[in-house]
Structure formats: structure tokens, C-alpha cells
């Protein structure tokens, strides 16, 4: 089975991208693909380098039975575009920032919501740092990660 290296990217790397990182990793293990899906996350800002994830994200992951105590926030780096098969961002602003660094590569760099069917109601993952709604973020990311995992399993990516 082919190994897929996926980097999730958001602004601060303490809410959305770590949630996606751990949800997809957990789902892949449940599906028997744990060794074939390698996940990580980064932020475009670097504001929280070296910190743990937001307590709201940690609480959501705990509620899902996903251990996240080993997480450390980091900023996106130049080598990430070489080191990962996909750089999956949370919103248009993240997409612009990542494309500014690495150029437009839609087969490699895209918004996670682009995985959902048209008309899903979301064109980005709302940042719970601002909304306070970590459960909404969890629900959207879980739906996106399920589609991503299915596509990886089916060799569509």
C-alpha cells in the first residue's frame, strides 16, 4: 500500500490543523491504514511555535478518544512542499499564504472543503479560535477527513 504524507495547514496551528491531523490519523488507524497515512500540521503565522494545541481542540479530541498529548505547534517551512504529498489548508487565506510560498499547485495544495460535495454548506473550516464552536469544526473536519480517507483507500489521490 502506498504511503501518503499529509500536512494540514491553518493560521496558528493550535485549533483546526491539529484537529485534522489527529482525526485523520485516528481514522486511518481504524481503517487499517495507520502505516500508510502519515499526518502532521503547521501554521502560516508561527504565532504559537512550540506551544500545545488549544484546550478546546484537545477537549474535542479527548471526547473522540484520541490522545493528543504529544502535539507541538510549528510554523510552515520551505521543506514542507517537498516532504509532504499534500498540503491541505482550512480556508482561502491559508491557501493564499501557502501558494505565495510554493506557487499554485492544485493537485498538491488545496482547501480541505474542496473534498466535500458541492452544496455542502461550507466553503472553509471556521476557526474556533474566533467562533468558539469547536464541535462545528470537529464535524466539518471529520466529514472532510472521511472523504479524504476514502479517496486514499480507493487510490483516487
Buried b (16+ CB within 10 A) or exposed e, 107-143: eebbbbbebbeeeeeeebbbbbbeeeebeebbebbbb
Catalytic residue among 15, 27, 127, 144: 127
**Running DSSP on this structure, what letter comes out for residue 114?**
G
Cell of 123: 466553503
Q: Tell me the backbone φ, ψ of residue 52, rounded to 5 degrees.
A: -80, 175
Pairwise CA distance, residues 69 & 148, whole Å: 24
Active site residue 127: yes
CA 53 to chain CA centroid, Å, is 13
Catalytic residue among 15, 16, 91, 97: 16
Catalytic residue among 10, 15, 144, 145: 10
Residues labelled as active-site residues: 10, 16, 127
Amino acid at each position: 500500500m502506498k504511503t501518503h504524507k499529509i500536512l494540514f495547514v491553518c493560521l496558528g496551528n493550535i485549533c483546526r490543523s491539529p484537529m485534522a491531523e489527529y482525526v485523520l490519523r485516528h481514522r486511518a488507524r481504524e481503517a487499517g491504514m495507520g502505516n500508510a497515512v502519515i499526518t502532521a500540521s503547521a501554521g502560516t503565522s508561527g504565532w504559537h511555535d512550540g506551544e500545545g494545541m488549544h484546550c478546546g481542540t484537545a477537549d474535542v479530541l479527548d471526547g473522540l478518544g484520541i490522545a493528543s498529548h504529544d502535539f507541538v505547534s510549528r510554523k510552515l517551512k520551505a521543506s514542507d512542499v517537498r516532504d509532504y504529498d499534500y498540503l491541505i489548508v482550512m480556508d482561502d487565506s491559508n491557501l493564499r499564504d501557502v501558494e505565495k510560498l510554493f506557487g499554485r499547485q492544485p493537485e498538491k495544495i488545496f482547501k480541505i472543503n474542496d473534498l466535500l460535495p458541492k452544496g455542502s454548506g461550507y466553503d472553509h473550516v471556521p476557526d474556533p479560535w474566533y467562533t468558539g464552536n469547536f464541535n462545528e469544526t470537529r464535524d466539518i473536519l471529520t466529514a472532510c477527513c472521511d472523504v479524504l480517507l476514502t479517496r486514499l483507500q480507493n487510490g483516487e489521490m
